[in-house]
Amino acid sequence: MSERWLEPIGLLHGPAANHALRDGLALPLAGGPAAFILVRLIEDGQDLGLCSAQAVPEGWEDLLPPLTRRPLPFAGLPQDRPLVMGIVNTTPDSFSNGGLHLDPAQAIAAGHAMLEAGADILDIGGESTRPGAAPVTSEEEIARIRPVVRELAKAAVVSIDTRHAATMQAALDEGAEIVNDVTALRQDARSVRVVQEARAPVILMHMPVLDPRRMQDHTGYDDVVLEVARFLRQRVETAEALGIQRGRIAIDPGLGFGKTAAQNLQIMNRLPLLASIGCRILVGASRKRFVGEVTGVETPIERLSGSVAVAQAAAAGGAAIIRVHDVAETVQVLQMWRACAEGSLPEHGEA
């Protein structure tokens, strides 16, 4: 059987999207509010050209529903806007702010500040997965995250950023609601059972190998966007077969994880293709190396402008969750982008 994809082209937002949908000229992307007017037909990796979204060829119609339907609610969170996930790394060697939140009190204070700035989710991690990072034991990871998760889960929807089943379980026991696994539940054979039994929402990310220390040695893709999409679709189907419903799954293309700067940009440019998997999309580009390569900013903490630009591009491309270090600035950028796209003030805005 051939492998087929429909890739949305020509995204519209705001009144233009509404009018095109009303007049039958476009289809909703993941249930809207964005819409698309064209699709690229891809079969067995070959580009077969563009056609109207309203006139896909016979035999391709079954690919439309996952692309156009609104995914089921994820973790009970709002669905009417892109969500902001604030990063709380309790590690000594994070690439962007290593050691800043290693002390639990500092990490908890940082999490509360992110909530006040408008974060919808807090993503707490106790092991750095940057290129070349040394692994830590589950015991050490749990010791780092446990007091932080316990406290912040009282005030927020907490995600645990880990690839270890024991850490997942410990965090869920302390009140975390979401599992965010950079290995897409491949690292630890017990992970699927932990997620399935807890009925926890899970984020599955693309990384070409399980060892972050070697991931940048594996960037030889024929078509990075298709290969990432293929991997994520297969992982979603596997998770479903193991009892994790699709509505509890979000997907992450893994920018910077086994990709060059050019490949990261290709993924961003063609992000809507991932919507055809039928899951919410998370994008994490905050302060990453490719942002610095594009903007010429060497120090990660100084990559704010480039990071919020990628956040806006991700939202425009259909991302439902944006994972960031700089919550307040990202929230403001997304509010401004939505107001401009809609051509009207948000409900809390003033004339």
Rounded to whole angstroms, the Cα distance separating 198 from 125 reads 19
Rounded to whole angstroms, the Cα distance separating 149 from 133 reads 23
Among 248, 280, 323, 338, the one annotated catalytic: 323
Encoded amino acid at 281, one letter: I
The dihedrals phi and psi of 227, each to the nearest 5 degrees, come to -70, -40
Residues 6 or more apart whose Cβ sits within 8 Å of residue 20: 12, 26, 35, 37
Buried b / exposed e along 151-175 (16+ C-beta atoms within 10 A): bbbeebbbbbbbbbbbbbbbbbebb
8-state DSSP, 179: E
- Is residue 288 flagged as an active site residue? yes
In terms of residues, how long is the chain?
351
- Is residue 323 flagged as an active site residue? yes
Among 288, 289, 303, 338, the one annotated catalytic: 288
Bridge partners, residue 269, by sequence: none
Which pair of structure tokens corresponds to residue 100? Answer: 């800043």
Which pair of structure tokens corresponds to residue 156? Answer: 């927020």
Rounded to whole angstroms, the Cα distance separating 286 from 252 reads 14
Please name which of 252, 250, 277 lies closest in space to residue 178, comparing C-alpha atoms: 250
Rounded to whole angstroms, the Cα distance separating 155 from 115 reads 8
Active site residues: 288, 323
